Amino acid sequence: MLQMLKQNVKLLSMLGFALAISFGLAGGIGGGRRRAEDLPPLRTQGPVATVAPTSRVVKPAVDVAAAFTEVASTVTPGVVRIESEFVVDRPRRTPFGRRWRELGDSIAPLEFGSGTGFIVSKDGYIVTNNHVVEGADVIRVTLFDKRSAVAMLVGRDPTTDVALLKINGTDLPALTFGDSDNSEVGEWVLAIGNPGFQGGFGSANTLDFTVTSGIISAKGRPLRVLNSDDEAGSLAIEDFIQTDAVINPGNSGGPLVNLQGAVIGMNTAIATSNGVNQGYGFAVPSNLVQRVIHDLAEYGHVRRPLLGVTIDDVSQEDAEVFGLPEISGVRVDDFGQNSPARQAGMRRGDVIVSINGQKVERVGQLQRVVAQNKPGEFVDVGIVRYGVRHNIRVKLTEAELETRPAPARRGPAMGEGRLGIEVVELTRAQAERYGFAEPGGAMIRQIEPFSAAARKIEHGTEPYRILEINRTAIKSLRDAQRLLRQMKSGDIVSLVLQRPAGEIRIFNIRVP
């Protein structure tokens, strides 16, 4: 989990991660403000002309509006809601709610969070943010057509905040990646996500699948939201695309797309002073996302290539000392153990200005460009050493990062079939204890967390009397057990249940 830092940046899942950056300005630019009366008077040269609307003025706006609607209708079906559920040891207040799933005496608290993802292959691979699913016991994906399924965590990478999930499916509406390196500041983009706000498995969300528009405000933004004290944090890649498209909690993991409908980024964070969007949204570049998910799909973890250098951005003073033609590049301060850069001839004080001919201006960009290669490959590193340009060929090694997905925890197997319910006889003692009018028949006493039943049957501390199973009246525990044991995977079990107070509810549950 990402911890609280001293800035005001929000990662955008409904898990309530609050991090980051302060955007206040202490004063005006250039040493003070001029009073209005000091400004020279306006001078006009004749009457102000008015211009009547023409097709040349209106048509571009119409074209952009048509592009927005076309992209939104094409891309939105490939965007999914992601709900993560967590077991906690004890009840506690959280920013995203709490649910009670087991009934009777044994009550286990569960917490849930939600975010967004998007489909990247027709057979069910889905991309989202690492912070949306990190530590989750169960991850459920809901498609645009309201179908849902439990997802497998293929792998995750906290150094880029990228995670890859898998559900079983065919001919799913996969989105297409664009080239984030070719995106430009000022370019129109759409941010698509699922803020939700109500959250929880099976609940109706008030803001499903929202689309907002804006432009790319900047590229190569570092936020220091992924950094931590461990080795993975020191290798975090922060080279975000900034946008003013409205992004709010719950949008984490959603796509940022251009007007061709291609994904050029994955929405990840906002910079804010009050917890809501203020026009500073940030997305992981699509080229980096593609590199990460390729490794996650093939290996289950990221194979991170390494130069083996301790680096920092170049300052104005650095440029003067090291003989740089401009304030740009990445300063090499030190080397790691068995550093391939040092072995290739790099020295302290060298300034990296290019990788494979691509200009390097800042740390985040260098890390992203290097990460797009594979361990064992060679890269040509352009450096400036006290005013003299050199080229050094470096064979990249692999960083040792333990980011393989931990096995999900599971509760004890309970109940008949695979529904995850514990069915017992409704004795006279239990009827009196729980307030049923009369004994007899069968009762659901417990529901296994994360089971098929837990996702359908309303939570609470009261047990349920089973009145009917698949339109057959239940007169005894044996009746209930016999019918439930006949159920096969994919069948739908129709339960008519009664609370102690007499309220009757119908729950139709698909057997996993």
By annotation, the residues acting in catalysis are: 131, 161, 252
| Distance set, CA 162 to CA 83, 91, 252, 258 (Å) | 16, 29, 10, 20
Query: Going by DSSP bridges, is the β-strand pair 138-142/79-87 parallel, antiparallel, or unpaired?
Result: antiparallel
Helix ranges (DSSP H) in 46-129: 55-75
Which residues have CB under 8 Å from 235's CB, separation 6+? 159, 304, 367, 399, 401
357 burial (CB, 10 Å; 0-12 / 13-18 / 19+) is: exposed
Cβ(421)–Cβ(485) under 8 Å?
no
CA distance 477 to 497: 14
Cβ(18)–Cβ(4) under 8 Å?
yes
Which residues have CB under 8 Å from 419's CB, separation 6+? 451, 452, 453, 484, 487, 493, 509, 511
DSSP state string for 416-459: STTS-EEEEE--HHHHHHHT-SS--SEEEEEE-TTSTTTTTSPP
- b/e 95-107 (16+ beta carbons within 10 angstroms → b): ebbebebbbbeee
Q: What is the CA radius of gyration of the chain?
A: 28
Cβ(114)–Cβ(85) under 8 Å?
no
For residue 177, how far is the Cα from the chain centroid?
Answer: 17
Which residues have CB under 8 Å from 279's CB, separation 6+? 217, 244
* Block residue for tokens 């009746």: 479
